Amino acid sequence: MKLVESVPNFSEGRRENIVREILSEAEKYSKVKILDWSMDFDHNRSVVTLVGEPEDIEHAVFDMTKKAVELIDLRDHKGEHPRMGAVDVIPFIPVMNTEMKECIEMSKRIGKRIGSELNIPVYLYEKSATSPERENLANIRKGEFEGFFDKIKDPKWAPDYGPNEVHPTAGVVAVGAREYLIAFNVNLGTTNIEIANKIARAVRHISGGFRYVKAIGVELKEKGMVQVSMNLTNYKKSPIFRVFETIKREAQRYGVPVINSEIIGMIPLKAAINTMMWYLQLDDFDENRIIENKILNTFFE
């Protein structure tokens, strides 16, 4: 069985009935699972997390997009979060037995359909980007909905699919593929924030650390601890265990113990199995050796 996640962001975070109508488009697919959805009033935005087989996810997300375009009018939209479309961004993320390449293909197929069937300009971003300046979503979104009526006239910002004209009510949309992001925090037995900052600098990419790690030091005043707070943007290439072991070693340098750590939200089974395999020195093991996963596979046979 193959599993892909998608986390479409919709520019509606106040009227629950509208968000529910969009969700119901996904619920029509019996094999698509809505893992999570949330509305934010201040951002006026909702975020939905869906998981399922690639084809089902692709169809469900297209149907949700179509419904959102019917129901959301960006001309009336105000909120704190920057946005450029009724459907603002659609990422596809490989979860199980799926290659990044397949998620890129999914993003291109759905992008093409959104362009031609819904008349919305589509920008491919991250792994799907067609030029380096389109990799970063913030770059694409700069100027937001209101600014895009001008921005789109710049040949540098011609859309990858769809018309060369902003959709009057739905704006434009970014579609792309990216790796699963794991939020991982390590708590240190000290109140000295400088030590957390130093360790964060040691492990994060920007200052010479692991390529797929973003990290900052954070004070946890109530707990009397400091934290190395991280996003692992590619757990296959900069894995949890290696980052954790490096943090432990760096903390030793300062005579500081690691008290505990936290994984925020959900993770793919593979991330847990890779961690077990490394620590137990297992050379020959994989997710199919987990009873529950074997059973899950039978439902997708």
Catalytic residues: 81
Residue number with CB closer to its own copies (51 or 87):
51
Closest CA to 147 of 84, 203, 96: 84
* Positions 25 through 84 that interact with its own copies (CB under 8 A): 33, 35, 51-52
Stretch that binds its own copies, among 163-171, 193-201, 229-237, 266-274 (CB under 8 A): 266-274
Question: What are the residues whose beta carbons fall under 8 Å from the beta carbon of 12, sequence distance 6 or more?
Answer: 18, 19, 22, 39, 44, 45, 46, 68, 71, 72, 77, 86
* Span from 17-25, 54-62, 156-164, 252-260 in contact with its own copies (CB under 8 A): 252-260
Distance CA 164, CA 169 (A): 15
Question: Binder to its own copies among 23, 61, 95, 104 (CB under 8 A)?
Answer: 95
Q: What is the nearest approach in angstroms of its own copies to the Cβ of residue 128?
A: 22
| Cβ nearer to its own copies, comparing 143 with 241 | 241
CA atoms within 13 A on the CB side of 20: 3
Specify the length of the chain in residues: 301
Would you give the binding string for its own copies spanning residues 197-226, x where CB under 8 A is met?
A: ------------------------------
d(CA 12, CA 79): 9
Contact present, 12 and 19 (Cβ < 8 Å): yes
Please give the Cα distance from 127 to 92 (Å, whole number). 10
CB of 149 to its own copies, least distance (A): 39
Q: Which of 89, 79, 144 lies closest to 114 in space, CA to CA?
A: 89
Nearer to its own copies, 148 or 184 (CB): 184
CB of 37 to its own copies, least distance (A): 14
Token pair of 284 as six digits? 């020959």
Check: CB of residue 171 under 8 Å from CB of residue 148. Answer: yes
Dist. CA 172–CA 185, nearest whole Å: 35
Residue of the chain from 17, 132, 255, 281 that contacts its own copies (CB under 8 A): 281
Residue 160 interacting with its own copies (CB under 8 A) = no
Contact map string, positions 221 to 250, toward its own copies, x by CB under 8 A = -------------------xx--x------
> What is the H or E stretch that residue 184 is in?
strand 182-188
CA atoms within 13 A on the CB side of 52: 19
Shortest Å, Cβ 184 to its own copies: 8
Rank residues 152 and 251 by Cβ distance to its own copies and give the closer one. Answer: 251
Site of interaction with its own copies (CB under 8 A): 3, 5, 33, 35, 51-52, 95-96, 240-241, 244, 258-263, 265-269, 272-273, 275-276, 279-285, 287, 289-296, 298-299
